[in-house]
Amino acid sequence: MMRYSPDSLRIPPDIVDGSPGLITRVTASAAGWGLLNMEVRRLAAGQEWSHETGACEAALVTLGGRAAVRSSRGAWPAVGRRADVFSGMPYALYLPRRTTFTLTALTSLEVAHAWVGTDQDHPARLVSPADAQIEIRGGRNATRQINSIIPPGFDCHRLVAVEVYTPGGNWSSYPPHKHDTHRTDGDGSVVEADLEEVYYYRFDRPEGFAMQRVYTADRTLDAAVVARDHDVVLVPHGYHPVSAAYGYSCYYLNFLAGSAQSLANTEDADHAWVKTTWNEKDGRVPLVTHEMEQA
């Protein structure tokens, strides 16, 4: 098993290999796991990027700007609207294996791309803001907003995608939880899935940051990571809470893949008691709303 350190868990945005607009990339082999790959691209208006999904299912999530996509599965003339992740709700495009596509940036564009190996075929689908359900989770200074993008139950094989907004000074992914063991109950329902996960961070100010701890119960992994704007943090296993620095609204995009198309997890029993204190919500959330898309 690969041994992880704070430096190996944090991937800064400094990869340039000649591929159009690439600012960061994490492959399954480099991460030390088996399934999940992701990258982020930043394209200028009019710039194009072409790709073929091969033996993988894929998701494109527009973080800021608008794109048009032509593919062997169909064409979508408008994917995205928000100027940045703090300006509106998400658009995404799910593409099955063996799909060729060309993405054209209609404006300056930041787009995340995840891909996972599959032996299944599912239909291509555009996810619009109207499809994204908002959940306000937690309480007090652990209140945060979760927007579904590719939730459990989506017509795909393995991919899951959500985005999370945490107001400055608040905690999220809290109480700490893990999803590194596949377990079912007596009727076969998944109570914990074995999932690989990435966090892609953005902040409302470029100097913003968050602290993320990744640890296992036996402390064979116990790392504290400082996550900055455009950083990727890997969660190979263990618990993984996040704390946003005071004064800076924190956004992260989660891609997950593993033993089930699920978010089933197990909380750290040492900290689960804090939920009994959540008798009020932080009024700063939701940080983005569907009404922003209608303005």
For 123, phi then psi, to 5°, come to: -75, 145
Q: What is the pLDDT of residue 86?
A: 98
Q: What is the pLDDT of residue 15?
A: 74
132, 167, 8, 176 alpha-carbon torsion, rounded to 10°: -80
Name the pTM for this structure.
0.97
pLDDT tens, residue by residue, 224-272 = 999 999 999 999 999 999 999 999 999 999 999 999 999 999 999 999 9
Q: What is the pLDDT of residue 16?
A: 74
Task: From 155, 13, 124, select the one nearest 60 (Cα to Cα).
Answer: 124
Kindly report the average pLDDT of the chain as a whole number: 96
Contacts of 241 (CB under 8 A, 6+ apart): 171, 172, 173, 174, 175, 176, 212, 213
CA distance 73 to 90: 21
CA distance 66 to 80: 4
Q: What is the pLDDT of residue 17?
A: 78
pLDDT tens, residue by residue, 188-203 = 999 999 999 999 999 9
Which superfamily does 6-275 belong to?
Answer: Jelly Rolls (2.60.120.10)
For 293, phi then psi, to 5°, come to: -70, -20
280, 227, 66, 45 alpha-carbon torsion, rounded to 10°: 150
CA distance 266 to 13: 31
Q: What is the pLDDT of residue 1?
A: 64
Q: What is the pLDDT of residue 99?
A: 98
Q: What is the pLDDT of residue 294?
A: 62
| DSSP string of 171-235, one letter each residue | EES-S-EE-EEEEE-TTS-EEEEEEEEEEEEEESSTT-EEEEEEE-TTSSSEEEEEEETT-EEEE
Q: What is the pLDDT of residue 198?
A: 98
CA distance 54 to 43: 23
Please compute Rg for the chain using Cα positions: 18
Q: What is the DSSP letter of 239?
A: B
**Greatest pairwise CA separation for the chain in angstroms:** 54
CA distance 43 to 67: 10
CA distance 2 to 70: 39
Domain boundaries, given as residue ranges, for the chain:
6-275
Give every residue of the chain whose pLDDT is below 50, as ranges.
none
What does each C-alpha distance from 249 to 13, 112, 168, 169, 205 come to in angstroms?
A: 20, 20, 5, 8, 8
Q: What is the pLDDT of residue 295?
A: 55
Q: What is the pLDDT of residue 282?
A: 98
Q: Quick one: the chain helix, strand, coil %, rounded to 5?
A: 10, 45, 45
